[in-house]
Amino acid sequence: MTLRVGQGFDVHRFSEDPSRRLVLGGVVVEGAEGLAGHSDGDALAHALCDALLGAAGLGDLGQHFPDTDPRYAGADSTLLLAEVVALVAGAGYEVLNADCTVVAERPRLATFVPGMVEALSAILDAPVSVKATRGEGLGAIGRAEGIACFAVVLVERE
């Protein structure tokens, strides 16, 4: 049995387009400013994708889903995440668990976290933890210019 760990990070700035929705971990955060991005801007799903790809030695999200590809314009990032999970499984790895942190000055995410946990755990078919924290006014994230997400995953190959 081989255990491998992977980590992922992503940051997106808030969009100036008022019609963009905030999507994090597959959950629409109603009433919040959306994040800019080629896809739906789900930085949490993207961080998790990179963690999974890293653990399996399969490169990174941009290699598999280029942000210059019109197919991924406005893409639902949970579908990209499901594709990444399939790639990781195809490489012989089973996901054991994932742990994620969302750093957001606003909005308050606590009430949305259980939905993210449920959505992401279902896609990974493994326990996923999501924690939300603030930037304490420090730096770009602290000035609420965007949202940053971190993810760590553990995978196993028999």
Q: If you write DSSP's letter for every residue of 72-123 in order, what string do you get?
A: GTT--HHHHHHHHHHHHHHTT-EEEEEEEEEE-SSS--GGGHHHHHHHHHHH
The residue (of 46 and 109) whose beta carbon lies closer to Mg ion is 46
Residues 25-84 that bind Mg ion (CB under 5 A): 46
From the number of C-beta atoms within 10 Å of its C-beta (0-12, 13-18, 19+), residue 36 rates as middle
Q: Where are the strands (E) in 2-51, listed by range?
A: 2-13, 22-24, 27-29
Number of residues that bind Mg ion (CB under 5 A): 2
**Nearest distance from residue 91's CB to Mg ion, in Å?**
22
Task: Report the residue number, 128 or 147, with the smaller CB distance to Mg ion.
Answer: 147
Shortest reach from residue 149's CB to Mg ion, in Å? 9
| CA–CA dist 58, 63 (Å, integer) | 9
- CB of 10 or CB of 33, closer to Mg ion: 10
Q: Which window, 4-12, 27-35, 93-101, 118-126, contacts Mg ion (CB under 5 A)?
A: 4-12
140 phi, psi to nearest 5 deg: -60, -40
| Shortest separation between residue 12's beta carbon and Mg ion, angstroms | 6
Token pair listed for 139: 């730096």
Q: Is 10 in the site for Mg ion (CB under 5 A)?
A: yes
- Closest distance between Mg ion and the C-beta of residue 158, in Å? 32
Q: Which helix (H) or strand (E) holds 45?
A: helix 43-56
**Cβ nearer to Mg ion, comparing 60 with 125:** 60
* Interface region with Mg ion, contact rule CB under 5 A, candidates 2-10, 17-25, 28-36, 117-125: 2-10
**Which span (10-18, 48-56, 67-75, 123-131) binds Mg ion, by CB under 5 A?**
10-18
In terms of Cβ atoms closer than 10 Å to its own Cβ (0-12, 13-18, 19+), residue 99 is: middle
Positions in the binding site for Mg ion (CB under 5 A): 10, 46
